[in-house]
């Protein structure tokens, strides 16, 4: 029991995990996390905090990261569906500034592992979505960073609903783009 299928992504370090699901007429059972299985798959992370959010259709959260206390994240959806995105911000990475997206839903039960030094965000496709994520460092409110969700330099192909602009928090309307991020770091690239 508890085995997982792990897909590597076009950006090194990102992984999409599909757990084994055991079902019958009564319902189903699955392990959502087993350290041994994840470590065997190359995800040797120690998670210290679990978070959960609920968002309504059209909400876009992100693109977020912590600056001095970066986190690995393991994310999944327990109700509804989202389009989940990670943007590579690793110094010297050949895919710096590139993005990868995956649909996560209660139905497909997929999880997305996002290593440190990636910006992360998601867009809600269903009427409501409950989103869960495990983190390898604690949240530090004064350490938040972010990127503009629609930065043309990054060029994320969000599957936006036709009837409305994304519903953003005030904070998420004020992030700069990739060029501003690089300039703010002293152009280490």
C-alpha neighbours within 13 Å on the C-beta side of residue 72: 14
Task: Count each helix (H run) and each strand (E run) in the chain, helices first.
Answer: 2, 13
Query: Residue 14 above 60 pLDDT?
Result: yes
For the chain, the domains span 48-184
User: The pTM is what?
Assistant: 0.94
Query: Residue 186 above 60 pLDDT?
Result: no
Annotated catalytic residue within 120, 123, 133, 181: 133
Domain 48-184 annotated CATH 2.60.120.10: yes
Closest by CA to 4, choosing from 24, 31, 23, is 31
64 catalytically annotated: yes
E-assigned strands of 9-114?
A: 15-19, 21-24, 27-30, 49-56, 60-66, 73-79, 81-88, 99-105, 111-114
pLDDT band, residue 2 (cuts 50/70/90): low
pLDDT in tens, 19-32: 999 999 999 999 99
Q: What is the pLDDT of residue 189?
A: 41
Q: What is the pLDDT of residue 162?
A: 85
Annotated catalytic residue within 28, 33, 35, 64: 64
Q: How confident is the model over 56-77, as a mean pLDDT? A: 97
| Joined tokens for residue 4 | 């997982």
Average pLDDT, the chain: 95
123 catalytically annotated: no
pLDDT in tens, 81-140: 999 999 999 999 999 999 999 999 999 999 999 999 999 999 999 999 999 999 999 999
CA distance 51 to 137: 12
CA distance 161 to 150: 15
Q: Are 120 and 114 in contact (CB under 8 A)?
A: yes
């Amino acid at each position: 029991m508890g085995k997982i299928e792990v897909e590597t992504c076009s950006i090194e370090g990102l992984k999409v995990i599909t757990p084994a699901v055991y079902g019958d007429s009564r319902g189903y059972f699955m392990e959502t996390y087993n350290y041994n299985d994840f470590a065997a798959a190359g995800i040797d992370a120690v998670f210290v905090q679990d978070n959960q959010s609920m968002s309504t259709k059209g909400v876009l959260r992100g693109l977020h990261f912590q600056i001095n206390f970066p986190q690995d994240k393991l994310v999944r959806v327990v109700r509804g569906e989202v389009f989940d995105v990670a943007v590579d911000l690793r110094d010297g990475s050949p895919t710096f500034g590139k993005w990868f997206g995956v649909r996560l839903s209660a139905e497909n039960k997929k999880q997305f592992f996002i290593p440190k030094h990636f910006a992360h965000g998601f867009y809600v496709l269903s009427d409501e979505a409950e989103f869960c994520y495990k983190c390898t460092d604690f949240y530090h409110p004064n350490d938040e960073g972010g990127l503009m969700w629609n930065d043309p330099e990054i060029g994320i192909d969000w599957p936006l609903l036709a009837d409305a602009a994304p519903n953003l928090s005030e904070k998420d309307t004020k992030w700069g783009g990739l060029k501003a991020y690089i300039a703010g770091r002293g152009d280490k690239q």
